[in-house]
Amino acid sequence: MQPFVVNVRWATSVFAIGLMLMAISAVGQTITQAEYYVDNDPGQGLGTPITVTPGQNVNFSNIHVPTTGLLANWPHHMFTRYLSSEGYWTPGESRVFLIITGFPAPVSLQVTQLEYWWDSDAPTVIDVPDSFTTSWTAFLPSTGLTNGLHKLNVRYVSGENVHGGELSRYMWIMTSQSGTIQFLVVTQLQYWFDSNSPTTVDLTDSSNVSFASFIQTAGLNLGIHTFSIRYQGSEGLWTPVQDRRVLIITPPEPPQPPAYLAGAEYFINVDPGPGNGVQIPFPADSAWDQELEETTLATITGLPTGNHVFYLRFRDDMGHWGHAFGDTISVAPILVIRRVGNDIVLDWQADTSGAPFHIHRNAVPTGTFADIAQTSNTTYTDTGILAGNNKEFYYVTFTRGALANFRLPDLRPAQE
Domain with 27 in it: what CATH number? 2.60.40
Q: Do 242 and 263 have their domain in common?
A: no
Q: Do 138 and 198 have their domain in common?
A: no
Q: Do 277 and 399 have their domain in common?
A: yes
The model's confidence at residue 296, banded by pLDDT at 50, 70 and 90, is low
Q: Do 328 and 415 have their domain in common?
A: yes
Alpha-carbon distance of 80 to 58, in angstroms, equals 12
Structural domain span for residue 56: 17-99
Last residue in a domain, options 34, 66, 99:
99
Alpha-carbon distance of 105 to 226, in angstroms, equals 72
Q: Point out which residues pair with 94 in neighbouring strands.
A: 79
Q: Do 323 and 379 have their domain in common?
A: yes
- The whole-number average pLDDT for the span 347-359 is 80
The model's confidence at residue 181, banded by pLDDT at 50, 70 and 90, is low
Instruction: Provide the sign of the torsion angle of the four alpha carbons 221, 222, 228, 234, taken in this order.
Output: positive
Going by C-beta distance under 8 Å and a sequence separation of 6 or more, which residues neighbour residue 277?
Answer: 265, 266, 267, 311, 313, 409
What pLDDT score was predicted for residue 192? Answer: 92
Alpha-carbon distance of 263 to 268, in angstroms, equals 18
**Closest CA relative to residue 324, chosen from 312, 308, 310, 339:** 312
Residue 7 lies in a domain: no
Q: Do 324 and 210 have their domain in common?
A: no
Q: 297 versus 326: which is more confidently predicted? A: 326
Q: What is the mean pLDDT of the chain?
A: 79
pLDDT digits (tens, 9 = 90+) for 200-251: 888 888 777 776 667 888 888 888 999 999 988 888 888 889 898 888 888 7
DSSP, collapsed to helix, strand or coil, labels residue 339 as strand
The model's confidence at residue 374, banded by pLDDT at 50, 70 and 90, is very high
**Residue 354 pLDDT greater than 80, yes or no:** no
Residue 9 lies in a domain: no
Alpha-carbon distance of 295 to 209, in angstroms, equals 65
Greatest Cα pair distance, the chain, in angstroms, is: 130
Side-chain half-sphere exposure of 150, counting CA atoms within 13 A: 19
The model's confidence at residue 125, banded by pLDDT at 50, 70 and 90, is very high
The model's confidence at residue 314, banded by pLDDT at 50, 70 and 90, is confident
What pLDDT score was predicted for residue 373? Answer: 92
3-state helix, strand, coil in the chain (%, to 5): 0, 45, 50
Specify whether the CB–CB gap between 150 and 116 falls below 8 A. no
- Calculate ∠ Cα 299-301-302, nearest 5°: 165
pTM given for the model: 0.32
**Residue 413 pLDDT greater than 60, yes or no:** no
Going by C-beta distance under 8 Å and a sequence separation of 6 or more, which residues neighbour residue 404?
Answer: none
- The whole-number average pLDDT for the span 121-146 is 86
**Residue 351 pLDDT greater than 80, yes or no:** no
What pLDDT score was predicted for residue 18? Answer: 41
Q: Do 371 and 324 have their domain in common?
A: yes
The model's confidence at residue 177, banded by pLDDT at 50, 70 and 90, is low
Q: Do 401 and 264 have their domain in common?
A: yes
Alpha-carbon distance of 23 to 81, in angstroms, equals 9
pLDDT digits (tens, 9 = 90+) for 13-53: 333 444 444 444 344 578 888 999 998 889 889 999 988 88
Alpha-carbon distance of 137 to 5, in angstroms, equals 7
Q: Do 288 and 353 have their domain in common?
A: yes
pLDDT digits (tens, 9 = 90+) for 85-124: 888 888 888 888 887 776 555 567 888 999 999 998 889 9
Q: How many independent structural domains does the chain possess?
A: 4
What pLDDT score was predicted for residue 227? Answer: 92
pLDDT digits (tens, 9 = 90+) for 274-288: 999 888 876 666 566
**Closest CA relative to residue 106, chosen from 132, 84, 124, 85:** 132
Specify burial of residue 190 (Cβ count, 10 A radius: 0-12, 13-18, 19+): middle
Q: Do 192 and 227 have their domain in common?
A: yes
Last residue in a domain, options 227, 248, 269:
248
**Closest CA relative to residue 137, chosen from 157, 119, 154, 120:** 154
Q: Do 262 and 406 have their domain in common?
A: yes
Last residue in a domain, options 37, 66, 99:
99
Q: Do 143 and 292 have their domain in common?
A: no
Alpha-carbon distance of 18 to 95, in angstroms, equals 11
Residue 356 lies in a domain: yes
Specify whether the CB–CB gap between 321 and 275 falls below 8 A. yes
